Structure 1
Amino acid sequence: MQTYDFIIVGSGSAGSVVAERLSASGRFSVLVLEAGGTDRRFFVQMPLGYGKTFFDPAVNWNYKTEPDPGLAGNADHWPRGKLLGGSSSINAMVWIRGAREDFDAWAAAGNPGWSHDDLLPAFKAIEDNEAGADQWRGRNGPVHITDNRRFVHPLTERYLKAAEEAGLPINPDFNGASQEGAGIYQITTRDGRRMSAARAFLRPAMKRSNVRVETNALATRILFDGKRATGIEYRQNGKTRTAMAGREVIVSTGSINTPQLLQLSGVGPAGLLRDLGIPVIHALENVGRNLQDHQGINYSWKGKVPTLNQILRPWWGKALVGARYLLLRSGPLSMSMNQGGGFFRTDPDQPRPNMQLYFQAFSTVLPKSGERPILSPDPWPGFSIGLSNCRPSSRGEIMIRSSNPLEQPRIRPNAYSTEKDVLEMLAAVKFLRRIASMPAIAEIVEEEVLPGTSITCDDDLIQDFRKRSGTVYHPVSTCRMGPDATRAVVDPRLRVHGLGGLRVIDASIFPDNVTGNTNAASIMTGWKGAEMVLEDSK
């Protein structure tokens, strides 16, 4: 048994950042425990390879939710990264920070230091933006952001024109002065390889003598001395091991595993813990509650012009793009499937955008068992426009089923459980069709394949998105931040209410979800959280 200054559980988007920042001075010893294995895998490093990791148990927790009434009884598939870099090693790489108003609302809820203006320096310090530095963007930071404008498929330009014809302005930077409008997504890649949190932060930290990273090390319990966290019990290679923390235990295992670990350790809803025979170390009713997630759906069309389907489906096309990637690190395999996108309001009275758009110059209508068919699209020229809600009012929960750390927790998303969410999504899919009806796209459409032109009335549209939509992989808020211990799990400095030596630093602390993809805000949380740890350690 060894003692370290800090033990970080989880090497994902936030944990990798915390490890790098706490170890940078050389003053502190840091142990990182990762339940998964290495990120040095071809389909992890190849950007479009995330289709191959979507169900791969070697790198993916492959969570399954409870059957959800809001999703027509479907049990949704929730991929989460189980490897160095966590979900940043298997995500779609779109770099969206969130809206100014998101973070200002966090601060207004009693969390000083978390407003947009407070966080902007951190976001800029994180970035190495290929598009260049300005008042919003940073350069020379650890996370390289690729500007895709010169690489996108020609159909993406048609999408932008159609969105403009439908009334959306063209937005050159969704992380700039405002989010609203249509534009090209910037992604976390560099030289044709994925820029995960492991590549940007953890790998550099692992070169230091004061950092130890243990892989295939599943944390099973936080150890306590009274109300103070003192270490971690974990399973590795069939053996139970312990490690002690002289200063703090930092849990960075994400919005599913973090509440799971706290509950297994006796921190959570007291009734649940007693029912499962787990001694209550500290009753915190909100551990695992307030689950928020973005729900998304795709509409797909058969086109009259070639799309990426004609390149990515045939063997010769695979060989061509594969050779281009291997030799030049360029082409479709070096990008995300979401090349264009945007943000819009379902109602002009909305104070800011509440929906996100995704344009894909290929389609995957025909199902293929066992993998996400990104690399095996439909045999016809197809394309898709997707959307997701940005600020749903529905709330779910994540609770352990037993005291067994190997048993997956019970995930109840509770999607579309409010009338507000249903009506907003109904308005959103109608606007999506409006974009597709604009001349720039309509002139190349042969037919709408999904959901099809027979789906027109409100009831049918609602039934369709309940059946076909699902997570866009942005679960947050299960250990939410706030000053009131009766409503939150951690305080504004990310310390678990009522306990010493224990912090949570990951997306589970978000008071509310951000407008857009969550990876950038998760990395920022790691940066900000590490800053607080260092300040409090002086």
Structure 2
Amino acid sequence: MSEYDFIIVGAGSAGCILASRLSECGRHSVLLLEAGGKDDSFWFRLPVGYVNHYYNPASNWMYYTEAEPNLGGRKLYAPRGKVVGGSGSINAMIYVRGQPADFDDWAAAGNPGWGYADVLPYFKKLERHPGGETRWRGGSGAIGLTPLKPHAHPICADYLAACDELGLPRSDDFNGERFEGAGLYETNIDGGVRASSSRAYLRPALSRPNLRLETHCRTQRVLFDDDKRACGVTVLQNGAERTFRARKEVILAAGAVDSPKLLQLSGIGDEVRLAGLDIPTVRHLPAVGRNLQDHLCVSFYYKSSRKTLNDELGNPLGQAWAALRYAVNRSGPLSLSVNQAGGFFRGGEAARQANLQLYFNPLSYTIPKNAKAKLKPEPYSGYLICVNPCRPTSRG
């Protein structure tokens, strides 16, 4: 079959949910295209398995920025998922919606329907929080959540005590009434297994006869009819070019990098730039491919006078014990994220709201220098404190 009602490009966090919802009524045929492979390996289900995918070209696009003049000419690593589930299948599973002011700013900028009060019902619908339904949380959604509060490594208590000493506020729930402050994260982990949108939404939906998933299928361009309406796509799959037609819509869900890239390759963008690449202009939209905002992360490594996860996961005996605990009852460090504590803070007295995020990681690890390498614990007790801006002023 080469014609569908809806064609979705990208089986990432958004694409998997869209495929599930659009095929749910049974009236529409849906094609979901993914450039990577399937996420059916055990290492995608195991929460700590992300260490195998952080630097693996089989499941990661392994993007780098251009050289940054203000960072000494360095290029920064930007991992992105290349697998069913997208980055949600390879990330560290921290579950934070964002602060209400972020959404309210979208609405104030001329986007009705995107304020926090508008989007909150959909966030609640998405999640299955162990605390059940409240004003802020959902209790019956597809994405199961695990708060780290009862499970975090003991050294996280030292981090929180240090925040108290500095007079920093506390937050009991970053997705609740109070966003700003120090606290323990919660994760999209369900019963010791990664709760990606692929696992929660797409996998149950694939039994429907009106939904088809094509993997290893890299979209080359969007096709347009005489009225310049998107009507299909051409893809490259296993070395062969294929064409799929859409009766209703082509939906780009390929992420903040590849969706605008695909638009440009299809002739939608700045006509001057497209002409320089010999791409015929379908529509002159100069903002396409510009104004990317990203939150660069800086990590600080520390040796610790207390034992950390390095001591548990940095030797064969500790690894075997962790594996046994996970095999018996899905518990222990293998069932959790290594990003456990952190918070959202104001970077200065002039800040109107939290504009910095901290991660406290009870594990310090070496960064791999070659493809397919795994993150490896440092050979001493150590931890990381990472910081990134939440509201960057730079654009790319």
1:290-439 alignment to 2 at 5 Å? Answer: 290-364=291-365, 366-370=366-370, 376-396=376-396
Equivalent positions of 1:120-269 (< 5 A) are 120-226=120-226, 227-269=228-270
Residue 177 of structure 1: how far off its partner (Å): 1.2
> What are the superposed Cα offsets for residues 93-130 of structure 1, whole Å, 9 maximum, x if unpaired?
10110111111111111111111001111010001012
Query: Matches of 1:256 and 1:303 in 2, distance apart?
Result: 38
The separation in 2 between residues aligned to 1:329 and 1:390, in whole angstroms, is 33
Q: Which secondary structure does the structure 2 equivalent of 1:163 belong to?
A: helix
1:85 Cα deviation after fit: 0.4
Tell me what 2:12 maps to: 12
Task: In structure 2, give the amino acid aligned to 1:76.
Answer: L
Instruction: Provide the rounded CA distance (Å) in 1 between the counterparts of 2:373 and 2:389.
Output: 24
Deviates more, 1:9-18 or 1:299-308: 299-308
Q: Shift of residue 367 of structure 1?
A: 4.7
Name the SS for the 1:164 alignment partner: helix
Give the % identical residues: 48
Structure 1 residues 68-89: Cα deviation after superposition (integer angstroms, max 9, x where no partner): 1122211112111111100100
Deviation at 1:371, TM superposition (A): 6.5
Inter-partner Cα distance in structure 1 for 2:21 and 2:247: 18
1:294-329 CA distances to partner (integer Å, 9 max, x unpaired)? Answer: 011122221212111111111111121122223322
Deviation, structure 1 residue 207:
1.4
Contact 2:364–2:377 (8 Å) recurs in 1: yes
Gap regions ≥5 residues in structure 1:
397-538
Distance 1:247 1:320 in 2: 53
What runs of 5+ residues in structure 2 fail to find an aligned partner? Answer: none
> Does the CA contact (< 8 Å) of 2:143 and 2:195 recur in 1?
yes
- Are the counterparts in 1 of residues 66 and 75 from structure 2 also a CA contact under 8 Å? yes
User: Residue 112 in 1 paired to residue 112 in 2?
Assistant: yes
Any idea what the Cα deviations from partners look like across 1:151-184, whole Å, max 9, x if unmatched? 1100011111111111122211001112111111
Corresponding residue SS for 2:123 = helix
Q: Which residue of 1 aligns with 2:98?
A: 98
- Whichever residue aligns with residue 326 of structure 1, its letter is A
Residue 373 of structure 1: how far off its partner (Å): 8.0
Deviations 1:26-48 (CA, angstroms, capped at 9, x unpaired): 11110001111100112221111
Aligned mates of 1:337, 1:370 — CA distance in 2? 22
Equivalent in the alignment of 2:34: 34
Tell me which residue corresponds to 1:83.
83
Structure 1 outlier segments of 4+, above 6 Å: 371-374
Q: Is the 2:104–2:116 Cα contact (8 Å) retained in structure 1?
A: yes
Amino acid at match of 1:167: G
Contact 1:51–1:371 (8 Å) recurs in 2: no
Which amino acid in structure 1 is aligned with residue 46 of structure 2? Answer: M
Provide the C-alpha distance between the structure 1 equivalents of 2:244 and 2:72, rounded to a whole number of angstroms. 45
Letter in 1 for 2:75: A
Distance 1:18 1:199 in 2: 14
In the aligned structure 2, how far is the partner of 1:373 from the partner of 1:392?
Answer: 31
Is this contact kept in 2: 1:6–1:249, CA < 8 A? yes
Q: Quick check: 1:53–1:90 contact (8 Å CA) kept in 2? A: yes
Deviation at residue 368 of structure 1 after TM alignment: 4.1
Shift of 1:348: 2.7
RMSD of aligned Cα (Å): 1.4
Could you tell me how far apart the structure 1 residues matched to 2:79 and 2:297 are? Answer: 15
Partner of residue 507, structure 1: none
CA–CA distance in 1 between the matches of 2:111 and 2:186?
29
Letter of the aligned partner of 2:385 in structure 1? I
Q: 1:129 & 1:371 partners in 2: Cα distance?
A: 37
Cα shift at 1:266: 0.6
Secondary structure at the aligned position of 1:242 is classed as: strand
On the 8 A contact 2:55/2:373 being kept in 1, the answer is no
* 1:131 and 1:147 in contact (8 A); partners too: no
Q: Work out the CA distance in 2 between the residues paired with 1:216 and 1:282.
A: 29
Which residue is equivalent to 2:22?
A: 22
CA contact (8 A) 1:99 1:178 kept: no
CA displacement, residues 376-398 of structure 1 (integer Å, 9 cap, x when unaligned): 211111112111111010001xx
1-side partners of 2:353 and 2:65: how far apart? 31
- Note closer, same or farther for the CA distance 1:93–1:358 as it changes in structure 2 (3 Å cut): same
Q: Secondary structure at the match of 1:243?
A: strand
**CA contact under 8 A between 2:132 and 2:140: conserved in structure 1?**
no
Q: Which has the higher contact order (CA 8 A, sep 6+)?
A: 1
The amino acid of 2:169's aligned partner reads P
TM-score, normalization by structure 1: 0.72
Question: By how many angstroms is 1:374 displaced?
Answer: 7.2
Which whole-Å CA distance do the structure 1 matches of 2:85 and 2:68 have between them? 29
Task: Give the whole-Å Cα distance in 2 for the aligned partners of 1:249 and 1:367.
Answer: 39
Look up the SS of the partner of 1:295 in the other structure: coil
SS of structure 2 residue aligned to 1:183:
strand
In 2, Cα distance between equivalents of 1:171 and 1:218: 42
User: SS in structure 1 opposite 2:13?
Assistant: coil
Number of matched residues?
Answer: 395
Q: Deviations over 1:393-441 (max 9, x none)?
A: 0001xxxxxxxxxxxxxxxxxxxxxxxxxxxxxxxxxxxxxxxxxxxxx
- Matched to 2:379, the amino acid is P
Contact 2:293 2:394 in 1 (8 A): yes
In 1, distance between residues paired with 2:177 and 2:168? Answer: 16
Deviates most, 340-349 or 280-289: 340-349
SS in 2 for 1:138: coil
Partners of 2:57 and 2:372 within 8 A in 1: no
